[in-house]
């Protein structure tokens, strides 16, 4: 039986099946529907003629619908349509849907071909193993800094900066753009001592930018961003920094601070003033780090901010300030557990004396007066754990050589001589 669908013939064959293994060798009715689709022969078997006719009519309807579409396309367009349909038929996606997706992709890609985009994804996109949010990655980075033994100073600053960043962007790190990061950095403010909100300094802004860059590099290393290509954070520009005019103590001010200080403040103030040790380093400095015989403080790498061992000479005037409280071992500043509480103690004491002690004023003073006395930038750079470039830029010509000699001559006042009247009174 033949059923025509336009120019296509759909044939139904009577093709009985036998059971040769059966003792009675019975045969069974069977019908085959045969037609061509897309240049290939299709055959379907049914148990009854009714089922075969139903299938043939369904195929006829389908073929006629396809032909109705094809009849509207003529010439070269007809060939293009047929080729396109054959090319994508195995994907099971309608041709018009594919056309829409392709058009959307080309609009986004511009002059870049879809093939180039696929090759780019093959090279870089597949390196992304997992999509994670900024807060989750910040948490991971902070944990890794602790596990890697980074200094408390570094961990504290990274935690403060990146937690603020995570609060501002609680979304996937893949979705962040250079523009968003730049605008966030521009918006950063802090509350000054008068309670007013002011924009952070350019140097501080660069510190925040560098912390964000470190976060993005961490994400790239762990498969949360594509490997082998720059991150959005790296494209954020640093801002120009005008070197600050560092504030230092006058000789009269350090004399007043030391001579009026309570016993628990004398040693840390003296060491910071005459050795230039950072507050974060002072917290962890121990008595065993002071080598009295060769007159040096040896700061181990575990204590320094830069994780580099440092050797600092004991100036002749420092020894009498600290030797009276000398111990064999233990933390020198056992009263304080972190740099923040120590700084607060210095601030309170400074205010009681009418002197602004500032965040880095002790260290600034040591470096400035030491350079003035030695005229050796490289030497002071090694002692203070700074770079010669920073010292050249920020500490030269803040003090004269004469000032420096006076600074390193500040000594404790000798005990007052016992007068004859006092002796008679005690008697």
- pLDDT score for 414: 73
Token duo for residue 291: 């080598």
- Maximum Cα–Cα distance across the chain: 147
- Looking at every residue in the chain, the average pLDDT score rounds to 87
Out of 267-276, 297-306, 353-362, the most confident range is 267-276
C-alpha span between 220 and 225 (Å, rounded): 4
Q: How confident is the model at residue 85 (pLDDT cuts 50, 70, 90)?
A: confident
Cα–chain center distance at 74: 60
67 or 62, which is more confident? 62
Q: Tell me which of 75-89, 217-231, 312-326, 346-360 is least confident.
A: 75-89
296 or 245, which is more confident? 296
Asked whether the beta carbons of 276 and 371 are under 8 A apart, the reply is no
Q: In which region does residue 228 sit, left (phi positive, over 0), alpha (psi from -120 to 50) or beta (all else)?
A: left
Give the pLDDT confidence of 225-280 residue by residue, as tens digits: 998 889 999 999 999 887 667 789 999 999 999 999 999 999 999 999 999 999 98
Mean pLDDT, to the nearest integer, of 189-212? 87
Give the pLDDT confidence of 20-60 residue by residue, as tens digits: 655 555 677 899 999 887 677 888 888 889 888 988 887 88
- pLDDT score for 350: 94
Rg of the Cα atoms in the chain: 41
Give the pLDDT confidence of 4-21 residue by residue, as tens digits: 887 788 999 998 887 665
Out of 14-28, 56-70, 84-98, 173-187, the most confident range is 173-187
pLDDT at 338 over 90: no
- pLDDT score for 399: 86
Cα–chain center distance at 14: 74
Q: How far apart are the first and last CA of the chain?
A: 145
Q: How confident is the model at residue 360 (pLDDT cuts 50, 70, 90)?
A: confident
Mean pLDDT, to the nearest integer, of 159-178? 94
Give the pLDDT confidence of 387-413 residue by residue, as tens digits: 888 888 777 767 899 999 999 999 998
Query: Does the pTM exceed 0.85?
Result: no
The candidate with the shortest Cα–Cα distance to 348, out of 278, 282, 261, is 261
The candidate with the shortest Cα–Cα distance to 385, out of 280, 231, 232, is 280
pLDDT at 416 over 90: no
Out of 21-35, 56-70, 170-184, 290-304, the most confident range is 170-184
Q: How confident is the model at residue 89 (pLDDT cuts 50, 70, 90)?
A: confident
C-alpha span between 105 and 117 (Å, rounded): 9
- pLDDT score for 415: 63
pLDDT at 381 over 80: yes
The phi and psi torsions of 418 (rounded to 5 degrees) equal -75, 120
Q: Please, where are the H alpha helices in 24-177?
A: 49-71, 75-88, 95-109, 114-123, 134-147, 152-168
- pLDDT score for 305: 81
Cα–chain center distance at 235: 14
Share of the chain above pLDDT 90, in %: 49
Strands 296-299 and 197-199: unpaired
Identify the sign of the CA torsion 350, 356, 359, 364: negative
- pLDDT score for 71: 47
- pLDDT score for 28: 78
């Amino acid at each position: 039986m033949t059923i025509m669908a336009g120019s296509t013939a759909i044939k139904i064959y009577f093709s009985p099946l036998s059971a040769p293994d059966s003792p009675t060798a019975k045969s069974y009715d069977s019908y085959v529907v045969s037609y061509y689709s897309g240049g290939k022969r299709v055959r379907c078997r049914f148990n009854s003629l009714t089922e075969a006719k139903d299938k043939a009519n369904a195929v006829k309807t389908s073929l006629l619908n396809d032909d109705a579409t094809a009849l509207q396309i003529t010439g070269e367009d007809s060939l293009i349509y047929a080729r396109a349909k054959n090319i994508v038929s195995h994907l099971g996606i309608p041709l018009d849907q594919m056309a829409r997706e392709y058009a959307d992709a080309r609009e986004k890609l511009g002059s870049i071909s879809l093939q180039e985009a696929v090759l780019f994804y093959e090279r870089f996109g597949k390196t992304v193993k997992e999509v994670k949010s900024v807060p989750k990655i910040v948490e991971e980075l902070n944990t890794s800094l602790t596990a890697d033994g980074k200094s408390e100073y570094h961990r504290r600053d990274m935690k403060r900066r990146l937690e603020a960043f995570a609060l501002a962007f609680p979304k996937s790190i893949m979705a962040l753009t250079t523009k968003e990061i730049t605008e966030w950095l521009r918006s950063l403010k802090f509350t000054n001592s008068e309670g007013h909100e002011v924009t952070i300094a350019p140097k501080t802004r660069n510190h925040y930018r560098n912390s964000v860059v470190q976060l993005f590099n961490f994400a790239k290393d762990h498969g949360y961003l594509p490997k082998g290509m720059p991150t959005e954070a790296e494209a954020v520009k640093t801002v120009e920094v005008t070197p600050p005019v560092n504030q230092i103590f006058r000789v009269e001010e350090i004399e007043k601070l030391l001579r009026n200080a309570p016993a628990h403040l004398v040693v840390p103030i003296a060491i910071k003033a005459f050795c230039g040790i950072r507050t974060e380093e002072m917290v962890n400095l121990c008595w065993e780090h002071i080598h009295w015989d060769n007159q040096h403080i040896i700061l181990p790498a575990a204590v320094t901010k830069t994780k580099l061992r440092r050797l600092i000479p004991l100036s002749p005037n420092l020894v009498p300030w600290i030797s009276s409280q000398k111990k064999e071992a233990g933390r020198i500043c056992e009263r304080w557990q972190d740099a923040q509480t120590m700084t607060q103690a210095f601030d309170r004491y400074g205010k009681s004396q009418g002197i602004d002690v500032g965040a880095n004023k002790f260290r600034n003073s040591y470096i400035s007066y030491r350079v003035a006395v030695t005229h050796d930038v490289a030497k002071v750079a090694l002692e203070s754990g700074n770079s010669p470039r920073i010292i050249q830029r920020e500490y030269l010509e803040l003090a004269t050589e004469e000032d420096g000699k006076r600074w390193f001559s500040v000594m404790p006042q000798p005990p007052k001589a016992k007068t004859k009247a006092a002796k008679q009174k005690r008697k």
